[in-house]
Amino acid sequence: MAYEQIKRLIGSDKESLSILERFVAGSMAGVIAQSTIYPMEVLKTRLALRKTGQYSGISDCAKQIFRKEGLSAFYKGYVPNMLGIIPYAGIDLAIYETLKNSYLQQYGSNSSNPGVVVLLACGTVSSTCGQLASYPLALVRTRMQAQAACEGDNRVSMSSLFRQILQTEGPTGLYRGLAPNFLKVIPAVSISYVVYENIKSQLGVASR
């Protein structure tokens, strides 16, 4: 929703947007979406790392975090997450729509629907590019959330964590866990784009 509305604001009366304009719209939409759901990301990480019996459920986890650490704990790792979502969402959405529109211009004839296979392929390429650009920041965000869950380890900064990873694990350490992340993200993003395009078609929203 945010992406389509921002494109309308940026594009005004233009029929088609440039890849830079799509990147800006995608980045802004990503920031809006992630800012809205970020506390749930923190809860997800805490629940995944909890000790047996530590939390009875989501609400109990939220209450304990708020009581012990305050409201700011729900935004632990927010800065690297935002720095990561800007290139990820921007690159992902910009490349996806550029590839899809390029295909339609060359092979689409009179149809505005390139088909499920093409949409899946465009989504796979775009999400791969977005992940490669933003993964180190996503990794740092998760490490910050995880380390905040440990007693007495709440003050780890983004820059110190970057240095720590580079010193102990080297540059490849910033991409640790990338393969299973691809296995999760690529099909999820590709399927979501197919759903996105079909709903746009049903609602009569034109691509720009």
Closest CA to 30 of 94, 93, 86, 96: 86
What pLDDT is stored for residue 40 in this prediction? 93
What pLDDT is stored for residue 116 in this prediction? 85
- How distant, in Å, are the alpha carbons of 44, 84, 100, 135, 154 from that of 79? 18, 8, 32, 14, 15
What pLDDT is stored for residue 26 in this prediction? 92
What pLDDT is stored for residue 111 in this prediction? 62
The pTM for the full model equals 0.75
Question: Could you give the number of structural domains in the chain?
Answer: 1
Q: Is residue 155 part of a domain?
A: yes
Q: Is residue 11 part of a domain?
A: yes
Q: Is residue 208 part of a domain?
A: no
Instruction: At 13, list the tokens.
Output: 């009366």
Closest CA to 77 of 139, 6, 2: 139
CATH of the domain at 43: 1.50.40.10
Query: How far apart are the C-alpha atoms of 63 and 71, rounded to whole Å?
Result: 10
Per-residue pLDDT tens, the chain, 208 aa: give them: 899 889 888 876 666 788 898 999 999 999 999 999 999 988 998 888 888 888 888 999 999 989 988 898 898 888 888 888 999 999 999 999 899 888 888 887 656 678 888 888 898 899 899 989 889 988 888 888 777 666 555 566 788 888 888 999 998 899 998 888 888 888 888 888 888 888 888 888 776 6
What is the three-state SS of 102-146?
HHHHHHCCCCCCCCHHHHHHHHHHHHHHHHHHHHHHHHHHHHHHH
Region of 122 (left: φ > 0; alpha: ψ -120 to 50; beta: rest) is alpha
Instruction: At 26, list the tokens.
Output: 């995608």
Query: How far apart are the C-alpha atoms of 198 and 204, rounded to whole Å?
Result: 10
What pLDDT is stored for residue 101 in this prediction? 87
Instruction: At 126, list the tokens.
Output: 């775009």
Q: Is residue 79 part of a domain?
A: yes
Note down the domain range covering 191. 2-203
Q: Is residue 153 part of a domain?
A: yes
What pLDDT is stored for residue 90 in this prediction? 93
Query: How far apart are the C-alpha atoms of 181 and 185, rounded to whole Å?
Result: 6
What pLDDT is stored for residue 154 in this prediction? 56
What pLDDT is stored for residue 30 in this prediction? 92
Which residue in this structure is represented by tokens 């708020």?
Answer: 66
